[in-house]
Structure 1
Amino acid sequence: NHVDFNGLFKLGEVMGLLQHHDTITGTSPMINIADALQRMHQVEKIGENLTLVLYQHILTQSSAINLSPPLTFCQLNESYCKPLATMDKFSAIIYNPSSVANQLWLRIPVAEQQTIHLDVDTVKKLSIDAQEIGTINLSPIIQSIPIVDKRNQLQELIVRVNIPPLSFQALPFTTLKQSQKVEAILFSNLSCSIENQNYVITVNAQGSITAIKLKSTNKNIDFNQNFGHYTSSSADGVSHQSSGLYVFRPVGTDPPKQVSIKQFYCSKRKGYEEIIQVYSLYVHQTIRLLDNSPYIEFEWTVGRLHRKYD
């Protein structure tokens, strides 16, 4: 296969535009959003085909065996990937751009009447350092994220993989057309804590983090969370210009309003523990401690907006 340089230039042009921090803002007018989305749609297939060709050149011959069209792009932070529901086998491409080895926890959406497993034989044959942790039910918060189609992927397969520095991995999976039973996730909405070998994170009865304990020094770090928002102006007597691209005009001069946590959940799963803080129907934050990880993960999910907020 040869690289489509004309497609590459078109893709680079659109990516250069969309990577500008003001291409789509929270206050962008609809005409600007529509233009950006149209440009994205025009180069989507070009990007998919180009990426597939490049991966086939970059990956080792043994890894590329598991990679074939179509190349599918999914928003895994929404725990949804419709094409996986009809595949007999697939590979997840994992990239580590760092100069040091990294550990990744991959979450693969699993549909009803479907079982997905890591292809252990191929993993061993290719000397990939990966381990299947297990399949779990989606949390109520993830299930509440509005998506285009009816959600039929209500479980996740958790896989831990260690990736060498500056490398790609094509992680192979197999599927079966049968459902599987999984252990129910135990959630708590009372003041609680999560921990791993390095940290203990404590939240109060309102769901806010109050302290982070470093186990190595046996010391607590005070921690205070605050989030805020402002309402954008459509136009007023001071200016007829509405808040939008390059112009951020809040209503009034008051500081941003503090946003409270509507509800929260603490959950403990095999391999990791997490706190899910819900701020609205379309905004939530997950604080996660992975097994043996020296880092605390903070993951924000914004959207998709429900029709009632259009």
Structure 2
Amino acid sequence: MSTSQLDLLLTSTTPACNGADGGFREEERVRWLILALAVWDTAGRFVRYIASILQLATNVFSAAYVADQLQAQAGGKADLALKVAARQQCVIKRCRAVRAPSESLPLTACPSQLTVVLDLDETLVASYNASRIPQHLLGGAQRFFIVRCSPCGDGTPNEIAVFPRPGLRAFLQQLSSFAEVILYTAGNTGYAKPVADVLDPDGTIFAARLYRSSTVRTLCGQDYVKDLSRLGRSMSRTVLVDNDPFSGLLQPCNVLPTRAFHGEASDRLLMQELLPYLERLAALPDVRQALTDDFRMAEFFGRQGYLLYEDPSSGFLTAAASVL
């Protein structure tokens, strides 16, 4: 049978098939159309999935590049938690925006004056629940006062026994004669404010009081860090006095670590050691070099695994422990 004869036969038999067979073909076309739409939708989802994977890879490697560059500059080992966070998002660039100028304190009348930032607990005072004062402190020569406050910040009143470090009153009076004094504590306002009111009843010692709400948490997981950049003071003329060196993690070259005070009557740190040292710092144009030479806190943080890099504006090391 020739091709033309076959075509003629098919043409002649088509009208006879317009019944059930025609309906069958229509159902086939509908099924093929539904299948084609499903394939198209699946292909679209796959393309969008691939695009999201590529975008994620771009973000990860760009953040990792920043972290690796800072690590190379420091020549040290990056903190694992920081590096993992940096590979998830470009945190080192993002988190610097947290330090808003609007959060800074009012400028001092003498910008060149030394600013001494004092911690409270275990630096200036030792505090205990009044019902649980250590036995070795009772009946001794060391005096204490009682404040009724809310140490947990939940409004629940409690009585706290506060032991001032020996020589504290004279130390604060002499220090305020040549330096701006700022109280910066990780204590809750409900506890720390009543204590500060006793230490400075006339409000003539502390130029500002900062409490736990003014501390920050770093991406390394370090809580209650005191970000000195929020003070709005020149870092060349600012020193943080704290028994916990990690409080100054963001500005290691401004940290003056002290021995912790637990109420000992024999302690003589404030007047015999700390005050003379601060007097020497007050005469220096930049306190960071002296603090770096004497305490090497940046090296200490580096040995703890924190990523350090050189601040291009100052030339001093700082920690890449950006805040949340």
After TM superposition, the score normalised by the length of structure 2 is 0.25
Q: Quick one: higher RCO (CA 8 Å, sep 6+), 1 or 2?
A: 2
Which structure dedicates a bigger proportion of its chain to strand?
Answer: 1
The structure number with the bigger radius of gyration is: 2
Higher helix share: 2
